[in-house]
Structure 1
Amino acid sequence: MMRFVLSTLLAFCLAVPALAAVDIKEVKTPSGLTAWLVEDHSIPFMALEIRFRGGASLDAPGKRGAINLMTGLLEEGAGDLDARAFAREAESLATSFGFDLSDDSLSISAQFLTENREASLALLKLALQQPRFDPEAIERVRGQVLVGIASDAKDPNSIAGRTFDQIAFGDHPYATSMDGTAESVAALTRDDLIAAHKGVLVRDRVYIGAVGDITPEELSALLDDLLGDLPQSGAPMPPPAKLSIPGGLTVVPFETPQSVALFGQPGITLEDPDYFVAAVLNQVLGGGSFESRLMQEVREKRGLTYGVYSYLAPKDLAAVYLGSVSSANDRIAEAIEVIRAECARAATEGVTQAELDDAKTYMTGEYPLRFDGNAPIAKIMVGMQMMGLPIDYIESRNERVEAVTLEDVKRVAGDLLDPDGLHFVVVGQPVGLETTPGN
């Protein structure tokens, strides 16, 4: 019955119209934690997003994959509850927990009913502060990770991503998969997982967003109880990555009728004052629209692919500009030639007024649609905090997009786009393509 009630409330939250305004309050707790809150008492439900900066990049030397394995074990038993008992308790409370890891952060998402808030947060506290890391659970989750690693080793897209990262990031943690290798994961011990837990879940790198049926005073007390006993600091952050992306081509032989290509170059940071200009430029060039130049030239006019995309990828410790395309082995060379040509055309000519207007219309129109429920809003607020954006950013974001001019785009396109500096990693059996010497 409780699961039905939560499902109904979730459906309601996802169905509400995009918010015209999001009233964010900053909440500071007695112990020094800071959270952003959108207070909404219209339904007895709450979403909480907690994110710890650092993520998989904090893996200790020689322990690659430890934080990923540890994250997978956070809801596999805690305190006096083994994995099954923990799952049964969460189900009985109609509580949803999610644990997610990236190169730059470890995220915890929680959704629960107001009437079960105290019990739900007590259960989450156990997961965050007293994970069991039982031997049976470790081996079960380790096995799942190893299956994923084996699967990725046979996936052209994963191979392309790993190869590009190795080229771009050198000896930085970004250069290797956060899952680790079969060898590194097999060698991880329970002590390694305990060390990973202490190194990542720390107070001085935590960001918090909450949306729903709770007051600032209630949230303050809740957070100090939930997170107050975590260590103040943890593993040291790695230094910024030293990007090394030479222009050229790397071919990875792989038996498949269709080649996959990942291409990229150095990008632009979120802190750069021209970031919004670059975002508008990318929307025109290769953003996720059928009207983008790359889609028009590579797919619509020449039929070389089902899809081609480009995107800004600013990580915490490096910024890259990436794209992807797949095509038949005997046509991938032409697709790459067209992509380079379109990047060169944008770098020298910029975009047209019509393209700029269309990009702005799309970007400003889709933005409010992101605020389609408590959980998405909580995630957005945490992302804003981690990026150092002001608390009123939501209100001013579309104004920043609208302020981009044709001259801005032409200037940034000339500075950012480097057609000769693009590096393509092609996985497959491409006809007429060979690895560039030195790559």
Structure 2
Amino acid sequence: MPVPVPAAGQMATRVPDVPAPSAAPLLPEPGPMLALHIPERTETVFGEHGLTLIVAPRPGLPLVSVALMVRCGPAFDPPGRRGVAELMAQLLTRGARRRDRWVDGVALARQAEALGSAVSVRVEDRLTVLEMTVLAPRAAAALALLSDLLRHPVFAATDLLAVRAQARDALALRLQDPAQLAALVARRTAWGADPQGSVTTPAQLMAVRREDVVALHRRWVRPDRVAVVLTGDLDTAGARAWVWPVLADWARPPEPLLDEPAEPPALLAAPRLPLTLQLPLPAAAQTSVLVCAPFVGTEAEDHAAGTLAAAVVGAGYSARLNQEVRIQRGLSYGVTGRIEQHRLTGLFIASAQTDHVHAAEVATLMQTQMLALAQQPVGAAELAARRAALIGGLARQLDTTSGLVARIGEDWALGAAPARLARWLAQLEAISPAQVRAFAQRHWTAERLRTIVAGPPLGR
């Protein structure tokens, strides 16, 4: 049930001759759809090693993004040992063996900067990425540096102490921030006690030992679980010529490859926690309101329709949630929506921050707009605008070498074929307003929405 709305107070005065805002502000007409160029890419697996090489040329700007991706992330943490994968990723840049010499984190950073870049570390649920963007002639040297970081980390005990303490302090700050705390709890609200719903605690971080990190690295960081992704001013044949000498000595270990942790289960029709959950943070300056809704996996037939449904309610300034909460009522600086995507399931999260006294009203407005999508048809112009925004955002991502790396990594982690993106775009362009409404009717019903309110108690 929606959070109860407190009685609205009456305005003491009114400015004359100022019309009330329209219930449905007119949207600008979308411009003509532009053709989206999807860079071609080749994918090669070196048989005896199992290493995957993915090359996506983008000639013109003399830059190359170099990434090493390994299928390993927090989903691979040992049972009861949350935080191991996150700490392992942070330790990769703190010390490594290079040419049979130990190099500390400061020296490694200097070597990266000498190449005109810095090492970026990104950790996702089932993926860890090391990346650099450099001038094209320095790409081979960047790959050699990233290879040493991933293959030969030292995992010094003193570095673990420092990284562990930093992660604990950062988590403690997150737990005091209404928006970040609510986002952490959203997973738990959706998946309950399943590993996908687990939330790392400071105590769990501090319990991680060096042997835990070493064991995780030995088990999962192996060439048949790694992809080298190259995008930018290079060609496939030339890339193979300098990639293979850098990684040729990385042999596949004799131990058989273990089964990956299971994909997160589909969300239940009924929530595992109460429909509305309040997280008391008496000292918070604002209250964060999250409304979570079930989503579908990337392989679902209605995935494209769901993506457009999420865009209609929560993607962009003119999306319905932002219109209702910010533009018409001024109750928040903005409402944003995002999809937590998996192969078999997903979660849509809409979030806003507001003053404490408006939390219940904002929650009800967000719930109402989510549910209304199943009842009110989406106009052709509205759908066209949201579709154009989605495709435009994707175009901007693919227009940079690092953005292209991120997109390739997402597909590779999901096991998607290179042609998936082109097929998905074609599906997106063919979705009708009726299909968007049908998606909401199937998945976004009142009993399946979960609302999380983090901040001072309501009515304080």
The alignment's TM-score, normalised by the length of structure 1, stands at: 0.85
Q: Could you tell me which of 187, 199, 202 is aligned with 2:219? A: 199
CA distance, structure 1, for counterparts of residue 276 and residue 371 of structure 2: 17
- Matched residues in 1 for 2:106 and 2:392: separation? 45
Give the structure 1 partner of residue 147 of structure 2: 125
Structure in which a larger fraction of residues adopt helix: 1
2:304 counterpart (276, 280, 291): 276
Query: Residue in 2 aligned with 1:146?
Result: 168
Q: Distance in 1 between matches of 2:117 and 2:251?
A: 23
Residues 129 and 230, structure 1, Cα contact 8 Å, conserved in 2: no
1: CA distance between counterparts of 2:447 and 2:331?
22
Q: How many residues align?
A: 413
- For residues 362 and 289 of structure 2, the distance between their equivalents in structure 1, rounded to whole angstroms, comes to 10
Conserved? CA contact 1:25–1:36, under 8 Å: yes
Does residue 169 of the first structure (1) align with residue 191 of the second (2)?
A: yes
Unmatched segments (≥5 aa) in structure 1: 1-17, 434-439
1:281: Cα distance to partner? 1.6
The equivalent position to 1:52 in structure 2, one of 62, 67, 70, is 70
Q: 1:51 touches 1:106 (CA, 8 Å); kept in 2?
A: yes
Aligned residue among 41, 46, 54 for 1:36: 54
CA distance 1:432–1:87, change in 2 (3 Å): closer
Equivalent in the alignment of 2:262 = 239
What residue is the counterpart of 1:23 in the other structure?
40
Distance 1:338 1:19 in 2: 35
Deviations for 1:276-312, whole angstroms, at most 9, x for unmatched residues? 111112211122x121111112222222222123333
1:337 to 333, 358, 364: 364
Residue identity over aligned pairs, in percent, reads 25
In structure 1, the partner of 2:430 is: 403
Change in CA separation of 1:158 and 1:330 when aligned onto 2, cut-off 3 Å = same
* CA-CA distance at 1:349 after TM superposition: 2.5
What is the match of residue 290 of structure 1? 317
Superposed CA offset, 1:301-359 (max 9, x none): 22222212333322346411221122222211111222222222211223122211222
Judged with a 3 Å threshold, the aligned counterparts in structure 2 of structure 1 residues 375 and 300 are, in CA distance, closer, same or farther, namely: closer
Contact 1:277–1:401 (CA<8 Å) still a contact in 2? yes
SS in structure 1 of the partner of residue 373 of structure 2: helix
1:90 and 2:124 matched:
no
Q: Which residue of 2 aligns with 1:185?
A: 205
Instruction: Verify the 8 A CA contact 2:122 2:129 in the aligned structure 1.
Output: yes
What is the CA RMSD across the aligned residues, in angstroms?
2.7
Once residues 183 and 223 of structure 1 are traced to their aligned partners in structure 2, the CA distance between those partners, rounded to angstroms, is 43
Is 1:372 matched up with 2:394? no
3-state SS of paired residue (1:330): helix
Q: Report the Cα offset of residue 257 of structure 1.
A: 4.6
Q: Match of 2:376? A: 349
The answer on 1:226 being equivalent to 2:247 is: yes
1:111 paired with 2:133, answer yes
Q: CA deviation at 1:214?
A: 3.8
User: How many Å apart are 1:165 and its aligned residue?
Assistant: 2.1
- Secondary structure class of the residue paired with 2:120: strand
Task: Describe the superposition over 1:87-132 as per-residue Cα deviations: whole angstroms up to 9, x where unpaired.
Answer: 2322233343222112221112133344434433332222111111
Q: Distance in 1 between matches of 2:334 and 2:454?
A: 16
Per the alignment, residue 72 of structure 1 pairs with: 90
Flag structure 2 segments of 5+ consecutive residues without an equivalent: 1-34
Cα distance in 2 for partners of 1:43, 1:301 equals 44
Q: 1:404 Cα shift?
A: 0.8
Structure 1 distance, partners of 2:169, 2:453, is 24
1:9 is aligned to none
The one-letter code matched in structure 2 to 1:263 is V
Task: Find the residue that maps to 1:322 and give its secondary structure.
Answer: strand
1:120-166 CA distance string (max 9 Å, x none): 33322221111111223222222211211221221112221232222
Gap change, CA 1:209 and 1:77, over 3 Å in 2 = same
